[in-house]
Amino acid sequence: MAKLWSGRFALESSSLLEEFNASILFDKTLWHEDILGSKAHAKMLARIGVLNATELEQILKGLEQIAQSIESGEFVFDIGDEDIHMAIESALTKLIGDVGKKLHTARSRNDQVALDFRLYILKHNLYVQHLLLALMECILDIASQHTQSIMPGMTHLQHAQPISFGFHLVAWACNFRRDVQRLGDDYARNNFCPLGSGALAGTPYGNDRIYLSKELGFSAPTLNAMDSVSDRDFALDMLYSLSMIMLHISRVAEELVLWSSVEFKFITLSDAYSTGSSIMPQKKNPDVPELLRGKCGRVYGALIGLLSVMKGLPFAYNKDTQEDKEGVFDALKNVEICLKIAKACLESMQIHTQNMYKMAKRGHLSATDLADFLVRECNVAFRDAHHITGKVVAYAENRGVDISDLSESEIMAVDARIKAGVKAILSLESSMNARSSLGGTASQQTQSQIDTLRAFIQERKTFLDSIESAHSTKAQDE
């Protein structure tokens, strides 16, 4: 098949080149954005007098028809067309005749692909924000039921201080809030329109780039034509943000794996989100959290892959850049399903607060409270208080009980400086609720953190709704 660019070529492309060079098999994903861009470009060409009204109408109708045939699955993507831009352009000319050949005036595939890919990423940026908000909501719903459920808080994966399960979940949600904020920053930084930059240097047609930018829902046109066609920061921003999301998911996933083990038994994952072993009939494996943890690797891979592609590229467009898409498509697809299944997995798990409490009773979690009591109520310097507390812990260890289970007289017998009233502060409840400083684990503090995050979710949802249709392109549940 003769290529759209074959004028100066004497020989036909080798089939190996065709296979090697073509991006159509994956960049067809961008068809919707490509058509949006072409429609805006055609309208702009009519405004600057390159197309007359009839030509514009024919082109717009033709593009609409192509969109319908792609949507319905009738459209045949041919590797000979090389990429989605040429596939749509040649389909248009086939459909409406020579007028179709005018569409590519004052445009290059370089600014076309920069536009399409940017639009696609911005659309998914909003979608991923929605999925993160839904996950946060689910986490907070569980957290609000557990602001009093005591579990062992750990550092170094060793028992440290009693916290509530709700408090722990709020820590997760804080990670996802930052992910939403990061995507919001990416969106604002990259919401600029590269269309009209031409191949690299602008065009001699006086393209109305302000019109294009408005028509396509951007904040403004990009500043410099050369930068516009060579920049892929918007894709790297997305991959970094996706990597951070996966990092956060992997840490949550790891806790689900630990907590569902016999050793912890804090939770039981629903059968609907667990799998069995092919050989050991008794087993129920946490495959979902394990895969959530594992998928982190391929998303980091996509980030490192594109960073490597972009490194050292001379300005402006280089074909290397065609390697920017598959990693992003794959990362988005995987992160989106991870966010959905993480939510489903959390929603459906059973929570065993009694086991958490039992475990919190092992490890002298209120030892710090005893030291604080000695400082505050008994006028003992912290270093001495630490030492006396150590002795009480050793005594409890000898008896094989937790310090919160010692009687008041037993504790007071360890050191003369320990005053009456000590027993009450050693209970896990009192220890947890004593940590009522801003951001602490005390029940009302946890509740107020939940309230803050819920207000954030509401605000963000309203904001997302207000910008959702700006680019006339919306990702949704498939």
CB of 317 to ligand ARG, least distance (A): 6
Beta-strand pair 220-221/192-193: parallel
Token code pair at residue 163: 């916290």
| Cα dihedral sign, 109-113-114-115 | positive
CB of 1 to ligand ARG, least distance (A): 17
Beta bridge partners of 255: none
CB of 311 to ligand ARG, least distance (A): 17
Is residue 72 within 8 Å of 191, Cβ to Cβ? no
Nearer to ligand ARG, 156 or 319 (CB): 319
**Site residue total, ligand ARG (CB under 6 A):** 10
**Which secondary-structure segment (H or E) carries 268?**
strand 267-268
Tell whether omega for the bond before 316 is within 30 degrees of 0, i.e. cis: yes
Give the contact letters, 383-412, x = binds to ligand ARG (CB under 6 A), - = no: ------------------------------
Is residue 295 within 8 Å of 246, Cβ to Cβ? yes
Region binding ligand ARG by CB under 6 A among candidate stretches 58-66, 108-116, 129-137, 245-253: 108-116
Closest CA to 452 of 132, 8, 144: 144
Closest CA to 244 of 179, 173, 292, 301: 179
CB of 191 to ligand ARG, least distance (A): 21
Amino acid 241 reads S
Token code pair at residue 136: 């946060």
Choose which of 322, 427, 448, 472 interacts with ligand ARG (CB under 6 A).
322
CA distance 96 to 108: 21
Nearer to ligand ARG, 319 or 383 (CB): 319
Is residue 296 within 8 Å of 303, Cβ to Cβ? no
Token code pair at residue 65: 């028809």
Which residues between 75 and 94 bind ligand ARG (CB under 6 A)? 83
Is residue 472 within 8 Å of 122, Cβ to Cβ? no
CA distance 319 to 110: 10
Residue of 72, 156, 278, 437 marked active site: 156
Region binding ligand ARG by CB under 6 A among candidate stretches 174-182, 271-279, 318-326, 444-452: 318-326
Give the contact letters, 339-368, x = binds to ligand ARG (CB under 6 A), - = no: ------------------------------
CB of 83 to ligand ARG, least distance (A): 4
Region binding ligand ARG by CB under 6 A among candidate stretches 141-149, 157-165, 185-193, 314-322: 314-322
Question: Does the footprint of ligand ARG cover residue 110 (CB under 6 A)?
Answer: yes
Q: How many residues are listed for the chain in this entry?
A: 478
CB of 23 to ligand ARG, least distance (A): 4
Is residue 50 within 8 Å of 106, Cβ to Cβ? yes
Is residue 173 within 8 Å of 147, Cβ to Cβ? no
CA distance 24 to 81: 7
Nearer to ligand ARG, 36 or 422 (CB): 36
**Which secondary-structure segment (H or E) carries 161?**
strand 158-164
Which residues between 227 and 286 bind ligand ARG (CB under 6 A)? none
Region binding ligand ARG by CB under 6 A among candidate stretches 72-80, 304-312, 316-324, 470-478: 316-324
Region binding ligand ARG by CB under 6 A among candidate stretches 45-53, 157-165, 212-220, 313-321: 313-321
CB of 111 to ligand ARG, least distance (A): 9
Nearer to ligand ARG, 241 or 321 (CB): 321
Residue of 15, 277, 436, 469 marked active site: 277
Which residues between 18 and 47 bind ligand ARG (CB under 6 A)? 23, 27
Region binding ligand ARG by CB under 6 A among candidate stretches 89-97, 109-117, 137-145, 291-299: 109-117
CB of 170 to ligand ARG, least distance (A): 43
Question: Does the footprint of ligand ARG cover residue 113 (CB under 6 A)?
Answer: yes
Choose which of 164, 190, 213, 321 interacts with ligand ARG (CB under 6 A).
321
Chain centroid to CA 89: how far? 34
156 is catalytic: yes
Amino acid 387 reads H
Question: Does the footprint of ligand ARG cover residue 125 (CB under 6 A)?
Answer: no
Closest CA to 112 of 196, 191, 189, 5: 196
- All residues at 6 or more sequence positions from 27 whose CB lies less than 8 Å from its CB, including other chains: 83, 84, 113, 116, 322, 325
Nearer to ligand ARG, 27 or 336 (CB): 27
The torsion defined by the Cα of 243, 244, 245 and 247, in degrees rounded to 10, comes to 90
CA distance 403 to 365: 8
CB of 36 to ligand ARG, least distance (A): 16
Give the residue numbers marked as catalytic.
156, 277
For binding to ligand ARG (CB under 6 A), which residues are involved?
23, 27, 83, 109-110, 113, 317, 319, 321-322
